[in-house]
Amino acid sequence: MKTAHFLSKDITTSQDLSSAALDYTTSIGRERKLEMVTFKASESISETITITLVSDQGSNYDVELLNVVMVEETDLIFRPQGQCNLKAGDKIQVECTQDGGSGIIYACIKTSEM
């Protein structure tokens, strides 16, 4: 039997890269499935994007899900290969460097109920 997954409310954040790098962490309040993380920049950027699963078991169990260098790009979509199940207490951290120093980066974390 196939289980239906209902999308949860999007978790969003943004950062003006002319003032600081993006470093945002959100707690997962209950069991969820990570569907995707999207990034949109207001202009072409050359920055490093990192997405990390911060485990409630401690830093020894943290997992870097993505680390990619965007070169003169505006969009990035990350979809986990297979299922990425999150439990209550886990966190998702999204980061974008500030090497280029301009533009606004928008991030959206999409999860579904399990």
| Cα gap 96→15, rounded to integer Å | 9
Q: Render pLDDT for 10-48 as a digit per residue (tens, 0 to 9).
A: 999 999 999 999 999 999 888 999 999 999 999 999 999
pLDDT in tens, 59-88: 999 999 999 999 999 999 999 998 999 999
Match 């993006």 to its residue by tokens.
22
Q: How far is residue 87's CA from residue 103's CA, in Å, rounded to a whole number?
A: 34
CA distance 16 to 11: 18
Q: Strands (DSSP E) along the chain, which ranges?
A: 11-16, 22-27, 32-54, 63-78, 85-86, 91-96, 104-113
Assigned CATH for 14-113: 2.60.120.230
